[in-house]
Amino acid sequence: VGGHPHDPLFDIAKKRITYVFPRVNYTLMPLFYNAADAFVWLTEARHQHGGIGISVLEALFCGLPAFSNTLLNIPYFTNEPRILRLTNELYVRSMEEFTQKLKNTDLHELRKYIISIRGVLTKLFSERSMALYLSKVLLNLYSKGIQNPKR
């Protein structure tokens, strides 16, 4: 578990989890992702539609099962069945749900599956793919604004 030492979740994690780290240098993150058994990233509900989260994608690219409530946003980016299956397995709404799912999940098999579709993840969520997706969204919004100006 990582995070800022003044974050209340950091205090909770220190009481429940064996290994807790303060903020880690970005260049070391792949080492931490590869040494971990699982990754959890929960955001507040009001931020839930802000995207998937770079940390979640980085963990997945390293083959780490990344449980998150931001995975709900993946269908906005793709209908790829292998990615949607992964989304269903990793989506959690709370720490309690994460704990329950962790008890019922074979992390070794899940890690193997993530590694097997890493090429699909990389293709869908590369900087280039995300920039193209965003440009389509913005062009669509722009064209709707031109056709239906609200003044």
The residues, ordered by sequence, that sit 6+ positions from 93 with a Cβ below 8 Å of its Cβ are: 69
Query: What is the rounded distance in angstroms from the CA atom of residue 59 to the CA atom of residue 24?
Result: 14
The residues, ordered by sequence, that sit 6+ positions from 136 with a Cβ below 8 Å of its Cβ are: none
- Give the pLDDT confidence score for residue 9 in this predicted structure: 63
This model's pTM is above 0.75: no
Instruction: Look at residue 47 and tell me whether its pLDDT is greater than 60.
Output: no
Give the tens place of pLDDT for each residue, 56-114: 888 888 889 999 888 877 766 677 888 888 888 898 888 788 888 888 899 999 999 99
Query: What is the rounded distance in angstroms from the CA atom of residue 20 to the CA atom of residue 10?
Result: 8
Q: Tell me which of 16 and 38 has the higher pLDDT.
A: 38
Instruction: Look at residue 123 and tell me whether its pLDDT is greater than 80.
Output: yes
Query: What is the rounded distance in angstroms from the CA atom of residue 1 to the CA atom of residue 22?
Result: 8
Give the tens place of pLDDT for each residue, 23-43: 778 888 888 888 888 888 877
CA distances from 7 to 2, 22, 50, 65, 140 (A): 10, 10, 21, 23, 39
Tokens standing for residue 137: 């969204």
Of 85-99, 112-126, 133-147, which range is least confident? Answer: 133-147
- SS3 state at 26: helix
- Give the pLDDT confidence score for residue 21 in this predicted structure: 67
pLDDT band per the 50, 70, 90 thresholds, residue 48: very low
Place of tokens 């890690």: 111
pLDDT band per the 50, 70, 90 thresholds, residue 136: confident
